[in-house]
Structure 1
């Protein structure tokens, strides 16, 4: 129980730092150092633990994967594939409700940190003449962006869970898919509950004919704007344009999910093919390689892996697992509540998985362990979705300026419904 108390205090310190806008990556590294000292580990062993966490093959692979995903996303942006995907999809869908949710859903295919800000200008533009309150717009932008995160195998959380549990990515995709569908269903209910489809979500027909240029300009620092001829071509041929623009993402998903290709090597190969097919010159490639380096994201993964390693070196993982195993708390409740609480505290799925999974893995029951792994993983997702520290939530609030209580009320009710669904599914399977 002493180990549990010490780790709880350290997590409390990390939470306090986060409330002071201290970067999560550095908070985790500081927490790792405090953990080593509090458990009486010699300083040279602490340094060794830091090095082992930094230099492990799992850490290196995760850092490379996240970098290559960022590079993949930047390639799509550089050649306007993502922009074309959005504009053509608008032309294919006439129902304003579907078009509103399509903006964050399409943007959610790429796991950018704070990516809700990418879809916010698009959703704002589409809703200008439809009298939609800021709270509902904020909810649509925030919630629908994350429908992919439980099961899409290019999100950091699911990749880290796969590495830590030594389960293949397609296992998580298969088992977590129903939860992604539940997120979608819950979002549809709250987004359009008591909304008048004939008035509140009606869009003037002429807006369907001419995509506003301001939408194009808001697509995150695009260096080149399409020519008028290109815009006209997109309007005339929306289906081919949409299929071509989404093709790289579909190829990636098919290779990883259905053909069980290793994500690291798949990303390397796919990025090289895109460089060749899209005819990037050497200077463009160099710029993209450099601009795709996000130091804070990479340090976050390193911080998570070092924190995990220090939990192991101090013996805290085994001690906490032992204490919880012999407590009066039911095992399923530990696997549900611990990731949920840490998810609320951190607001980041990969950090939540990295902190809780080393402890929970030691507690896996012999009977049906996969069931408990998925419970913990989805509870991590639930925690970050209702966390006030979630970056997408903060950015959405800053953009639309909703009444915080009303906006968060949407999010909290959705979280409660998702939590009920998680527990019901756990007991019925």
Structure 2
């Protein structure tokens, strides 16, 4: 197996638009001719990658050697048969973030991390307790967002088919389709269910939206980051520098409903706010740790407040955790999603792909947020009426009419007026 390039991804979700948090790729290019003559080669290739890299050396109590014997004892007459076998084999690991992608799905994932999407704009995850397909967040400006889909909504049907027992890849296959066509989703939100018809479309992801605003303390920089894709770091740098040049008094960084993205993008953005500090640590199955640090490249030391919620996941949690643990920012909002997994992505011989969970990540204080999420310093929930109002008029998000933003501005105002305030006690 020839390794052309290596990298990692943070697993937060498998998105219906193929948006997972990508840090890079490990590209494997075995002989295409060998695969064509024997689809079994693909099955063994996937097994070998899992055997070498999977985060749990006990493979979640699966006899992985026996698994190899079982699946290599079969004959596969086509790619489709090999694909089904691979998915069946991976399902035994009970890890929705270790997954196989056919060539179309793999291409979509690569497109997503570049910042260009096609689909309905839903980041979809598998709830580890209920095993239900759950919305992490809709993508800003997407058909799903315009239709009012919210984080934590449960997708119960797709085009009339029940999602019970359906994995993320199957959901992706049902929801994807040509731009301009429609798909109907059955949604459960709290105690009620309803249908939403969405028109598939090309989605341009502009991950950074920035604005300098007047306030009672002078100019304030508001930056909303919706995804950590390939453009996020450069766009963030431009936004911060522009605000610094306009002499803002402080910043509000909005990470709400940000499902994550590139690991190294989140680290690079953290370095724009931190001077000399640990950003994140990863630990693999051998206990080997890699630490990413800030190295005196901060663009500003002005006061910072970060907005988070249940849709802030993965790379968002790395950034917010680094800023919180290093006392660089005050976090306002609600508890984050709680996904702390690192993945390696492999391109396989027929241009299909494999994402493998290979490590966990920890905040600078050593917190494993994979199940618990990150608690904000100051908690403020939106009421149902607040949510409905903001969904109906999304232009109100990040304004004084948004209760969480209003609280963030209040906190920032106090920090600007009294820089010596002690660290906030978490509640």
| Greater relative contact order, per chain length (Cα 8 Å cut-off, separation 6+) | 1
TM-score (norm 2): 0.22
More strand by share: 2
Normalised to the residue count of structure 1, the TM-score between the two structures is 0.22
Kindly indicate which of the two structures has a greater share of residues assigned to helix.
1
